[in-house]
Amino acid sequence: MKPNGLKNLGILLSGRGSNFVAIADSIDAGRIPGARIAVVISNRADAPGVETARKRGLNALVSASKGKEREAHDREVVAALKKHNVDLICLAGYMRLLSPWFVRQFPQRILNIHPSLLPAFPGLEAQQQAFAYGVKVSGCTVHFVDEELDHGAIIVQKTVPVLDSDDEHTLAERILEQEHKAYSEAIGIVLEGKFEVVGRRLVRS
């Protein structure tokens, strides 16, 4: 059941879930009008984000991926998302590639957050990659998910200067602060729906 035409978010995570918490806090504070979290799904039973979600009174479930063929696992996850009438999926530290089949089930309705200014430093440990490369500015990116890794059209980016005093941990912490702002902004933009994607460019109207 969807109360009052609210849009249902489905959060996928694998770990601590700080981006999930930031999204949930934004919703509770009325900063993402029209959104509710319908379900939180983890592919790992030991993800702290699952417990956090349950403590907040949200539906949280585990669909373990270990040892499963990618698309077979994705079919379980998609079934759960559809059962909860999810309109928009937010990958929030979901450490598993989605199969092309999964992506095709929800065209332009899957978002991901990545801790670098894409297209720089896709893949794992992006903050460390950026730090080791010696960039002076890094940041984070919220983007639509397509069939390629860390690749779809960009919705929001936030920059973070790299300070001389930084190490890779302090840089990652400051990027995370910006992630927590960027994700809610991006969800708000997508749910509001006043944009089109022209080529790779998201243009707001």
List the catalytic residues.
114
Beta 7-13 vs 35-42: how paired, if at all? parallel
Tokens found for residue 159: 């920059």
Q: Applying CB under 6 A, which of residues 37, 77, 90, 92 lies at the interface with ligand GRF?
A: 92
11 is a site residue for ligand GRF (CB under 6 A): no
Taking CB under 6 A as the rule, does residue 19 contact ligand GRF? Answer: yes
3-state secondary structure (DSSP) of residue 177: helix
Q: What DSSP assignment string belongs to 30-76?
A: TSSTTEEEEEEEESSTT-HHHHHHHHTT--EEE---TTS-HHHHHHH
17-25, 29-37, 153-161, 195-203 -> range binding ligand GRF (CB under 6 A): 17-25
93 near ligand GRF, rule: CB under 6 A? yes
Q: How many residues bind ligand GRF (CB under 6 A)?
A: 13
- Which of 50, 103, 113, 182 lies at the binding interface for ligand GRF (CB under 6 A)? 113
- Cβ-proximal residues to 149 (8 Å cutoff; 6+ apart), any chain: 97, 122, 123
Q: Taking the complex as a whole, how short is the minimal distance between the CB of residue 72 and ligand GRF, in angstroms? A: 24
CB of 198 to ligand GRF, least distance (A): 26
Kindly state whether residue 143 participates in binding ligand GRF, applying the rule CB under 6 A: no
CA contacts within 13 A on the Cβ side of 45: 2
User: Inter-axis angle of helices 168-192 and 18-28, to 10 degrees?
Assistant: 40
Catalog residues that contact ligand GRF under the rule CB under 6 A.
13, 15-19, 92-93, 113-115, 176, 179
